[in-house]
Chains A and B, each alone.
Chain A
Amino acid sequence: MHELSIAQGMMANLRPWLDDQPEDLRVLKIVVKAGPFRAVVPDALIFAWEVVRNEHPKTAGSVVEVDASFIEVKCRACGESWNAERAVFKCPKCGSDNLEFGGGNELFIEKIETNEKNM
């Protein structure tokens, strides 16, 4: 349940910005980009945010949506490259296990939807 720590990290990142916004601003939705190497369970983060969101009046009632990113996999044997939802150990084209991973380590707020503006 480290998603609670991640939800608290979301609030830590948001708080200075929230404090600087107009009093009547309300956050409606926060889209979080999460890569496969960050071990984030979307439902657990959504649930954790339901607890943490009440720490600031401008996020009370807001929801989290998780936008899963990919691992960029490249086969060193045949040159095939593709995006994978999770770590893989065999090239689907040539069967080689000589693979290289890129990306997949993302964990950040991608978009904030509010009653006034989106950013």
Chain B
Amino acid sequence: MCEYCGCGIPDGPPQHNHEHENVAVSPVYKDLLAANDHIAQHNREHLRRMGSFFVHLTSSPGSGKTTLLEKTVESLKGKLSMGVIEGDVATENDAERMRAMGIPTQSIVTDGACHLDAKQVHHALGHIAEDGKFDLLFVENVGNLVCPADFDLGEDQRVVLVSVTEGDDKPEKYPPIFRHADVLVISKTDLLPYVDFDIEKVKKHARVISPRIRFFELSAKTGDGIAEWATWLTSLVPGK
């Protein structure tokens, strides 16, 4: 039996073919993260069947992922059911902040690892599913603009945050993370008067790397832009 089954999520796994595991197919030309992508697809299918929309937040440390989640919960609580998976290298600090918001939260402490993978998220999904069904499920990755780029977690949308204090050359410096991004959130816009940050330059470069990318400009501190962000999230949930 596949170790990824029996995860506690109803309906069992989707078209899960175990027979291929022991077949000596050629390893040549097969993506090196195929095992991760297989579990990610499994996560995606599970959540789709549960009617949950899965949003992955990733960025440098300190660009405001957790604060954005807090504001998102404030804005949507009572309208949508939400759950959070919090990735952190060494603490449960962020998970505690989400629990304080009254949101079912599962923590993944990586003990030094620089990114989450689909297997860790699958394990967390198995636990958080015990808290019920969610319209929106968020996963906050470990703060890092390099390593998370390669790892599909099974998300429906991948959101990259760049805060205005980080500098406007992030898409140029870290192309892989933007290549796989669906959304770019430009955060901490209340600090724009104090820093040299060219929003149009960031958007232009991000669009070259990921032509499908969508933008939000917001400040979790003042609340500017949160309404647009929350409206967009709501539109993603089936039937809302």
Contact = CB atoms under 8 A, between A and B. Distances in A.
Interface of A: 1-2, 5-6, 9-10, 12-14, 16-17, 19-20, 32, 36-39, 86-87, 89, 97, 99-101, 104-105, 107-112, 119
Given A16-B23, A36-B175, A86-B175, A108 B29 contact: yes
B171 to A, nearest CB: 8
B204 A12 contact: no
A13 B175 contact: no
10 closest residue pairs by CB, A with B: A20-B24, A87-B175, A2-B147, A9-B32, A39-B176, A13-B27, A37-B179, A12-B35, A14-B27, A16-B24
A68 B131 CA distance: 45
B36 interface: yes
Given A6-B33, A9-B34, A99-B208, A112 B179 contact: no
B79 interface: no
Nearest to B35: A12
- Please classify the interface of chain A as helix (H, G, I), strand (E, B), loop, or mixed, using the class held by over half of its residues: mixed
B25 A16 contact: yes
Chain B contact patch, size range: 35 or more
A79 to B, nearest CB: 17
A10 B24 CA distance: 14
B111 interface: no
B205 to A, nearest CB: 6
Contacts of A9: 31-36
A107 B152 CA distance: 14
Contacts of A101: 179, 208-209
A104 B36 CA distance: 19
B122 interface: no
B175 A37 contact: yes
Given A13-B27, A108-B29, A112-B28, A2 B208 contact: no
A36 B175 CA distance: 8
A5 B180 CA distance: 18
B128 interface: no
B179 A105 contact: yes
B88 interface: no
A30 to B, nearest CB: 9
